[in-house]
Amino acid sequence: MLNSVKVVIADDHALVREGLKTILMSEPGISVLGTAENGEEAVRLCRRLNPDVALMDLSMPVKSGVQAIQELSGEGRTKFLALTAHIESDHVFSALDAGASGYVLKTSSSKELVMAIETVMEGKVYLAPDISAEVAKGFLQKKRTKSNDSLDSLTEREREILKQVLAGYKNREIADLLVISIKTVEKHRSNFMRKLGLRSKTELKAYGEELKDNGIYL
């Protein structure tokens, strides 16, 4: 149950602002201190009123919601809930990186909106259920891109030896298979370990598992 939570609403559509205000004012323990129709006005309002929570539409004129959150983040006690129709992971990451504590879709129910406010007031991060999968997908894509970037730094021979090492072959076996010396195998192995930022066999094994989990095959 919420207890005296002060809220500011920022959205460039009057009907949305009034609708959100009506919903929140009907909830025990929530009061709406004011509303703003653009990001710049939202910044001024939050600095003057210092609300507990600011519902911030991400697509606003003059100054976007992301810009407003970035400018205000860390200044006071206010926690920011990004309010938008976008479920793409890039939009979510932009809002969270700017300093938002939660992400609520405009299609969310009033019950979910109140739950989001409760969650951020408890110091947690709230993500609307409909976008959780998108965030996970975006996170995995980032990991996959990072893994690909690391692999791209390897030479063809280093990749080949890495492949054999991850398959469980010993240096002597790899040397015989590729018809090269053990010292050459050791040199290439040392090089790819350095390039991939790996320091032990345990880390190398974990890296191999990560590649498989991300669907990357050598």
Res 210: pLDDT = 76
Res 84: pLDDT = 85
Res 216: pLDDT = 66
Tell me the residue type at 195. Answer: K
- The three-state secondary structure class of 113 is helix
Res 211: pLDDT = 77
Q: Which architecture, in CATH terms, is 153-213? A: Orthogonal Bundle (1.10)
Res 148: pLDDT = 55
Q: Under CATH, what is the fold of the domain 5-130?
A: Rossmann fold (3.40.50)
Ramachandran area for residue 63 (φ above 0: left; ψ -120 to 50: alpha; else beta): beta
pLDDT tens for the chain, 218 residues long, are 567 899 999 999 999 999 999 999 999 999 999 999 999 999 999 999 999 999 999 989 999 999 999 999 878 899 999 998 876 667 777 888 788 898 898 888 999 999 999 999 998 888 887 776 656 555 445 555 555 557 778 898 998 999 999 998 999 999 999 999 999 999 999 999 888 888 777 778 878 887 777 666 66
33-90: per-residue pLDDT in tens? 999 999 999 999 999 999 999 999 998 999 999 999 999 987 889 999 999 887 666 7
Q: What is the CA radius of gyration of the chain?
A: 25
Neighbouring CB atoms inside 10 A of 207's CB total 18
Res 120: pLDDT = 92
Tell me where in the chain the CATH 3.40.50.2300 domain(s) lie.
Answer: 5-130
Tell me where in the chain the CATH 1.10.10.10 domain(s) lie.
Answer: 153-213
How far is residue 16's CA from residue 10's CA, in Å, rounded to a whole number?
Answer: 9
